Amino acid sequence: MLDIRLIRDNPDQVKQRLAGRSGDFASLVDEVLAIDTQRRAAETERQKLQSDRNRISKEIGIAKKNGQDTSAIEAEVRGIGSRIEEIGREADVADARQRDLLLSIPNLPHEACPVGSTAEENPEVRVWGVKPDFAFQPKDHTVLGAALGMLDFEAGVKITGSAFVVYRGAGARLERALISFLLDLHTTQHGYEEISPPLLVKPECLEGTGQLPKFGDQVYHSPEDNLYLIPTAEVPVTNLHRDEIVPLERLPIQYAAYTPCFRREAGSAGLGTRGLIRMHQFDKVELVKITTPETSMTELESLTANAEKVLQLLGLHYRVIELCTGDIGFGSAKTYDIEVWAPGQGTYLEVSSCSNFGDYQARRMNLRYKDENGKNRIPHTLNGSGTALARLFVALVETYQQADGSILIPEALRGHFGSAKIG
RNA sequence: GGAGAGGUGGCUGAGUGGUUGAAGGCACCUGACUCGAAAUCAGACGUUGUCGAAAGGCAACCGAGGGUUCGAAUCCCUCCCUCUCCGCCA
């Protein structure tokens, strides 16, 4: 959430930077300003009355000790009490309303974020490798997966529903190999601590990272326990430090976590995504960083490089694009997407989205750190997929398919997979 | 799920309805002593909000939320969590 002081002091600048996003937030900013004025007036009055009451109550205590009659003065304080209750209710309502409004205003795009309105205006930052040549017509992963007994979409539908899949045999093994390959890479080469978090979280966690209150319809919810299935490991992992004051020496914090991710994808059903591209449940290794404000932008570069390393080691052609102001996520200040080439699809697939959230999430989850002067400050949070597994699976089998229908396992993965070939 | 005990500041640990944001201890910080360190002594040492140009003032916070009262860490109610024992279970 944005700092109310920033909005109060520079409302026009805030509006101008929000204007780059899709959607109109100027009126929300005005509403917050109005409620803030109202809230502070009520708060000031309440505090003054409370101060009066405290003072007089103390006098009563002293008078009673001296055996004096205090009934008149008590009646007076009773009057103050009811006014405190009245004005206090007003202040509390305004406070809650202000928080609601702040929670529904997205983050300001960073100055470095390219201006644009749609995904078409996302600039390409760099390209790695080239599209592989095939002496034959490359097949789609669903065809390959069925032929080699790796993917069973019918079984997924049977036991759960559409957009769920069963990996089996070499497919299940390949998925498992990829998970350990990614975790080993990030923990031993890139300095991340491995985390295996709960997959169910409290609503406060989703509010902290920004999924609630605005995107509640995208998350699976268990009402009996008021717990949510995580849409990404970002949620439990970033919230590890919710409500904490982290000592400066601990920064930067770097976590890598493998988890399944659960997404309702409400509103996108039947969008014509085939195979593994868009599922309600998919595996992902997520990278999370908590850094000082001064270093977050360079940390975003290294986090993105860590995710790219995965594709480089697997020999998969990819490109990196930068999201423009109209396309970045709700809480993000700056985002790179990494898109891997999938020959069977004939398109690039987003396998990673690396974002710097600035202090937006940290302020929501009341996460702070002590700076060198002992002052509490708000750190920056970052995260990126390193990488999403289902689409990586797609790119891998489609890129390494052979004329005879078999799939070559890239050198770097063979140790984890246990053989050089499927089929 | 049942029974009991308990949730107080970075940690530990007192707390009687009344000048308690909260004793004491530890840790950390500053200063004195010292060539330096240790020990010792002195001081400082929570968070958020609000008013203020600032200095600083004020308010709230003792697991969470309600209630009683002129006044609640302290009394009452509801909920959450932790620990011990029992039950169940991978």
Q: What pLDDT score was predicted for residue A71?
A: 83
**ipTM of predicted assembly, 2 dp:** 0.87
Q: Strand, helix or coil at A422?
A: strand
- The β-bridge relationship of strands A253-262 and A193-195 is parallel
Mean pLDDT over A28-47 rounds to 94
β-pair partners for A369: A246, A377
Cα angle, residue A257 at apex, residues A255 and A262 outer, rounded to 5° = 135
Q: Strand, helix or coil at A23?
A: coil
* Residues 6+ away with beta carbon under 8 Å from A54: none
* Portion of chain A with pLDDT greater than 70, in percent: 99
β-pair partners for A193: A255
Mean pLDDT over A347-355 rounds to 96
- Measured from the Cβ of residue A162, the count of other Cβ atoms closer than 10 Å reads 12
Q: What is the spatial distance between Cα A87 and Cα A82, in angstroms, rounded to a whole number?
A: 9
Q: What is the DSSP string of A168-236?
A: -THHHHHHHHHHHHHHHIIIIIS-PEEE---SEE-HHHHHHHT-TTTTGGGS-EETTTTEEE-SSTHHH
Q: Which residue has the higher pLDDT, A372 or A20?
A: A20
Q: Which of A86, A173, A350, A414 is catalytic?
A: A350
Q: Which residue has the higher pLDDT, A25 or A246?
A: A25
DSSP secondary structure code for residue A271 in this structure: S
Alpha helices in A349-405 (DSSP H): 360-364, 389-399
Q: How confident is the model at residue A272 (pLDDT cuts 50, 70, 90)?
A: low
Q: What pLDDT score was predicted for residue A120?
A: 93
Question: Residue A418, by phi and psi: left (phi above 0), alpha (psi -120 to 50) or beta?
Answer: left
pLDDT digits (tens, 9 = 90+) for A274-293: 789 999 999 999 999 999 99
DSSP secondary structure code for residue A401 in this structure: B
Q: What is the DSSP string of A275-302?
A: TTSS-SEEEEEEEEEEE-TTTHHHHHHH
Mean pLDDT over A382-394 rounds to 96
* Portion of chain A with pLDDT greater than 90, in percent: 76
Q: Can you give the pTM of this predicted structure? A: 0.93
Mean pLDDT over A43-52 rounds to 93
Q: Which of A211, A17, A24, A207 is nearest to A108 (CA)?
A: A17
Q: Which of A242, A363, A368, A391 is catalytic?
A: A391
pLDDT digits (tens, 9 = 90+) for A141-184: 999 999 999 999 999 999 999 899 999 999 999 999 999 999 99
Q: How confident is the model at residue A242 (pLDDT cuts 50, 70, 90)?
A: confident
Q: What pLDDT score was predicted for residue A95?
A: 92
Q: Which nucleotide is nearest to A74 (CA to C1')?
A: B70
> Of the ranges A49-58, A219-228, A265-274, which is most confident?
A49-58
Q: How far is the CA of A234 from the C1' of B55 (A)?
A: 44
Q: Which of A17, A39, A46, A263 is catalytic?
A: A263
β-pair partners for A320: A126, A338
Q: What is the longest distance spanned by two Cα atoms in chain A?
A: 104
DSSP secondary structure code for residue A123 in this structure: P
Q: What pLDDT score was predicted for residue A271?
A: 47
pLDDT at A67 over 90: no
Q: What pLDDT score was predicted for residue A69?
A: 81
pLDDT digits (tens, 9 = 90+) for A310-345: 999 999 999 999 999 999 999 999 999 999 999 999
pLDDT at A207 over 60: yes
Q: How far is the CA of A86 from the C1' of B14 (A)?
A: 37
Within 13 A of A153's CA, how many CA atoms are on the CB side? 16
Residues in reach of strand B, judged by a CB distance below 7 angstroms, are A 4, 39-40, 43-44, 46-48, 50-51, 53-58, 60-62, 64, 74, 77-78, 81, 245, 368, 376
pLDDT digits (tens, 9 = 90+) for A389-420: 999 999 999 999 999 999 999 999 999 999 99
pLDDT at A65 over 80: no
Q: Are A123 and A322 in contact (CB under 8 A)?
A: yes
Does A263 participate in catalysis according to the annotation? yes
Q: How far is the CA of A151 from the C1' of B55 (A)?
A: 71
Q: Are A285 and A387 in contact (CB under 8 A)?
A: yes
Q: Which of A58, A40, A55, A385 is nearest to A232 (CA)?
A: A385
